[in-house]
Structure 1
Amino acid sequence: MSTILRSLLARSRHSRAFRMMMIHELKPMMPEIRTQTRSYSDSNTSESTSQRRLESTKEFWRKAHIENSKESEKVLKLLRKTGAISILAVLASIAYAAIIEHSNKTEEEEQGIEYIPNLKEDIRYRKRDD
């Protein structure tokens, strides 16, 4: 019986709240099934906490749109820091690429091309020297 109950209340099929509700409903009928249940604080408190966070975030963004408010100053300060950091990152990556490119040059590349053929000549009938 317990395997049937476990398969019915498997994690993949039902939410945790539904499984806990079913276990509490089936407890009086099947006392031989031992289940581990955790007692948490009231679920309404977690919902109210998340609701309060959402409301405070909304209020923060409303005030951030007001000029010369504390919130708008915080947002501007954060944006300035982010912009400065991104500019420094771009400059550092350019400098790193330039250093790598400069260190990889060989003497042959610096001398240039040794042989430049005369493009005025017709080489179709010339014999190979090889």
Structure 2
Amino acid sequence: MVEEDIVKHLEFIQNIITRMANNSFLLKGWTVTLVVALFALAAQNSNSKFVILAFFPVLTFWILDAFYLWQERLFRALYNDIRNKTKDSILYEGPFTLDTTSYKGKVQSWARTAISKTLVIFYGIMIIAICIAMLILRVI
């Protein structure tokens, strides 16, 4: 019975980790979609300054993506902690929890996560693309 509860608890945590990763993936997709749409509007000569608006979704989604990645890392730390405990220590420590506050010191901070390689490469490329588009359209 207790072992089934532990497995179920680990499944809950794994589902949260999966949702966080999926949210991150969706944000990247929306970033590309919105930036391309704003490029298309700017290229149609309606107003080349639409390219400048592309910075807003990139920066906003970068912040959100960093938050989801940070949360994912917190839940991974919780998952690994529970996975490595014995059945007796889990029973002794009390009820199952999804609280990750005690793991904040064990993973990189949200700000450090925002400047991690994966996020800087993706969003940095998007910012460089916007700057190139601004040069091409002579916005600056």
Normalising by structure 1, report the TM-score: 0.31
Instruction: Looking at secondary structure, tell me which structure has more helix per residue.
Output: 2
Q: Which has the larger radius of gyration?
A: 1
Normalising by structure 2, report the TM-score: 0.29
| Structure having greater relative contact order (Cα 8 Å, sep ≥ 6) | 2
